[in-house]
Amino acid sequence: MNEWLVFLLLFLSPVVSSIPIALLYKSKEWTARLPYLSVFGIFISVLMSLYIFFTFPSELPDCRFVSPYTWIPGTGIDIVLITDYLSRSMGVITALIAFFIAIYGLDYMRGDYRPSWYWFFFNLFTASMLLVVYSDNLFLLFVGWEGLGAASWGLIGHWFRDDDEIAYVGVPGRKVGPLEFCWPPSFGGWRAISTIRFGDVPMFFAIAAIWAFAGGNLNISEIAWGALFTKLGAAGTVILMLMLLMGLFTKSAQVPFSEWLMTAMTGPTTVSALLHSATMVAAGAYVFIKLTWYIQPWNMHNIPGVESVYVIVLFVGLVSGLYGALAATGMLERKVLLAASTMSSLGLMFGSAAASYWLPKEVPGTGMNLALLVAFWYLAVHAFAKASLFLVSGHLIHATHTRFSVGNLEFGKKMKATFAVTLIATTFLVGMPPFTAYWVKSGMDEVMEHLLHEGMLLPLILLLATSLTYSAILARFTSLNFIKGEKPKHEHLEGGNLMRVGYLLMASILFILWYLIFKNKETVGFVHAGYASTSILVGIAILVAYVGALYKPRISSLSAIGTFFNDRMYLPYLNDYIIPKIGFFVAHLVHGYGNRGIDGFFNTKVMPGLFGLISRGIRCIQSGYLAHYIKVVLGVVMMILILAAIGGVYLYP
């Protein structure tokens, strides 16, 4: 099959298949039937991603595909796609997860008041992420990046009417100081797009700067990154990379840009699952891993500025990881707890990938740095596990008619499949032996232990603290919903068969990844790291934390600190109070002084006064006598001659 036909089917099938339901939005009969066509479009993308994975080359230069048609003439910018190790694998992950969630959504979104809007943006979201995944050209990648942003606004604010409290985040009417800690869906969509746009603007300028300084080349795999950084110098390198990273940090909700991710839980659960697993927030971490793979910072220790960039990413990631885990410890809202834990996982991905600067260890058979491989595999395991938990959460919300964690053992026995998937997803994700994430986390432990040789102890401490807290919060989620939570006031257990199919399929992939860790050559290092005494001790500590939180999910004596963590340590004040106050103050200055100053300069004082002065001067010489005008002209000529004479004396002494 022609490779460009494969890519066209991959990207366009989801969008084209969702156009009929968008056009027939007024017909309830058709909008009830056409979601199956939208799901089929995503299924075609799954087939194409698998075809690419098994048949397309993975080594440069054969894995790079340049469009035979010039995209933007005269700029050197073409449509360039790549099927390297990262892209091939991430493409399958993205398409599979979107497909499983779409199956779940056939049940979950049945009867919704605007299915056309939902399915169009859901499929656009999927296609945009696939474009980000396979793009080698930074400008093409940015097109997909903006598609993600636009679709996220449409999906997070899907229930824009704000007419159902079950879709809110926070408790209506609850105030902490002057700020109400409750956010409706319409606000969640606005906050998401505004925060992301705050990072996208500097990212766009960074891409433009790379094009200018790299000789008009924007292909990630072809840019001479070392020469580029050398040309820019230390300050230029740091500024350029921080501008680029602003887009990645905001997209992946790293501190202090994390609040949009919490309030994004106002969207449908299917959106939350897709958002937090293989698209949107994962896009930031994925792009950073991909860029780092081709930048190869471990070979740039002699280039000023590069180390500073990776130190910043290392600590932003690890601090975000611990912050997200701690914030989740006090949360009772199902999806918000999972959102905070997602932020934590993404922080670990950034931290691990950044550690590659100090770890020049290549994994045989991939050409990839060990730290990057660890970060990517953790991204893969997290994607399927977290998507499973979000889909479970949506089913629980339907079954109990509340977004807060409730459910005792009796309730858990009634929802056996849901309970089982929750146990599988949490145990396979937290890093307890011998399940999937344990081996990946062992590799991550090895990466952070290597930093001890660089005199950095803090990264290892942050990793261990985050891992233990993370284990406790997922155990707490399990316990409060199925074992030791309150008895639900409402139980609606009928139906939901496609929902169960969705999260059962999702959880089954965790077993496949577990098998692949032992089968694949590139992950042999994970297995060896897993048998190290340090990894075993850490794994046992994580297991103890999980069992302890499962048995004791709530500690009444710590309720005050739990409330503090539930309030995200008051970080919402930064987004909803401090920054708006600063913005209004600046707007007041601009309106009160800037606008009046401009008006005074051009309209009322300076310029009118200057023209009045000139006008009066001209009127003074308007006598009407020719002799008077001759004297004025002669006076001007004399002044010119005198100035010319003086200038000649100085020029020719």
CA distances for 30 relative to 34, 35, 170, 354, angstroms: 6, 9, 36, 49
Query: For the chain, what is the mean pLDDT?
Result: 90
Residue 220, token pair as written in the block: 């990630």
Banded model confidence at residue 333, pLDDT cuts 50, 70, 90:
very high
Mean pLDDT on 200-226: 94
| Range with the poorest average pLDDT among 99-113, 293-307, 545-559 | 545-559
| Alpha carbons 267 and 240: distance in angstroms, whole number | 34
* Angle subtended at Cα 498 by Cα 494 and Cα 499, rounded to the nearest 5 degrees: 75
Tokens read off for 456: 């950095």
3-class DSSP assignment, residue 124: helix
Q: Quick one: pLDDT band at residue 622, thresholds 50, 70, 90? A: low
- Distance (Å, rounded) from C-alpha 196 to C-alpha 205? 15
Strand 169-176 and strand 80-82: pairing? unpaired
Q: What is each CA distance from 26 to 20, 40, 157, 198, 544, in whole angstroms? A: 11, 22, 20, 35, 55
Q: pLDDT digits over 5-53, tens only?
A: 999 999 999 999 999 999 998 898 899 999 999 999 999 999 999 999 9
Give the pLDDT of residue 570: 87
Give the span between the Cα atoms of 348 and 477, in whole angstroms: 20
Q: Per the structure block, which two tokens stand in for 528?
A: 């060896």
Q: Which amino acid is at 352?
A: S
SS3 for 194-256 is HHHHHHHHHHHHHHHHHHHHCCCCCECCCCCHHHHHHHHHHHHHHHHHHHHHHHHHHHCCCCC
Please report, as a single letter, which amino acid is at residue 316.
V
Q: Can you say how many angstroms the Cα of residue 520 is from the centroid of all Cα atoms in its chain?
A: 29
Q: Is the peptide bond between 580 and the residue preceding it cis, with omega within 30 degrees of 0?
A: no
Q: Using alpha carbons only, how large is the chain's radius of gyration in Å?
A: 30
pLDDT tens, position by position, 569-591: 888 888 787 877 787 788 778 77
Instruction: Give the C-alpha distances (Å, rounded to integers) separating 41 from 13, 74, 228, 578.
Output: 5, 35, 41, 44
Instruction: Specify whether the CB–CB gap between 316 and 350 falls below 8 A.
Output: yes
CB neighbour list of residue 315: distance below 8 Å, 6 or more residues apart: 351, 458, 459
**Which contiguous run of DSSP H or E holds residue 80?**
strand 80-82
- Tell me: pLDDT of 376 over 60: yes
Positive or negative torsion for Cα 526, 529, 534, 536:
positive
Say if residues 424 and 507 touch (Cβ distance below 8 Å).
yes
CA proximity to 308, closest of 240, 360, 365: 240
Average pLDDT over residues 443-449: 94
What's the pLDDT score for residue 653? 54
- Reported confidence tier of residue 312, pLDDT bands at 50, 70, 90: very high
- Dihedral-angle region of residue 279 (phi above 0 means left; psi in -120 to 50 means alpha; beta otherwise): beta
The residue with greater pLDDT, 378 or 69, is 378
In tens, the pLDDT along 122-135 reads 999 999 999 999 99
In this prediction, residues 100-125 reach a mean pLDDT of 93
**Tens digits of residue pLDDT in 467-510:** 999 999 999 999 999 999 999 998 888 778 999 999 999 999 99
Beta bridge partners of 77: 72
Instruction: Give me the pLDDT at residue 623, please.
Output: 61
At residue 180, the pLDDT reads 87
Among 328-332, 449-453, 458-462, 605-609, the minimum mean pLDDT is found in 605-609
The predicted structure's pLDDT at residue 647? 65
- Tell me the mean pLDDT in the region 230-234: 95
pLDDT at 652 over 60: no
In whole angstroms, give the CA distance from residue 42 to residue 96: 9
Banded model confidence at residue 439, pLDDT cuts 50, 70, 90: very high
| Paired strand residues for 169 | 183
Percent of the chain topping pLDDT 70? 96
For the stretch 507-522, pLDDT in tens is 999 999 999 999 998 8
Contact residues for 397 (Cβ-Cβ < 8 A; gap 6+): 166, 269, 334, 335, 403
Which pLDDT value is given to residue 597? Answer: 78
Domain boundaries, the chain: 3-570, 571-620, 624-653
Cα angle 345, 393, 13; round to 5: 80
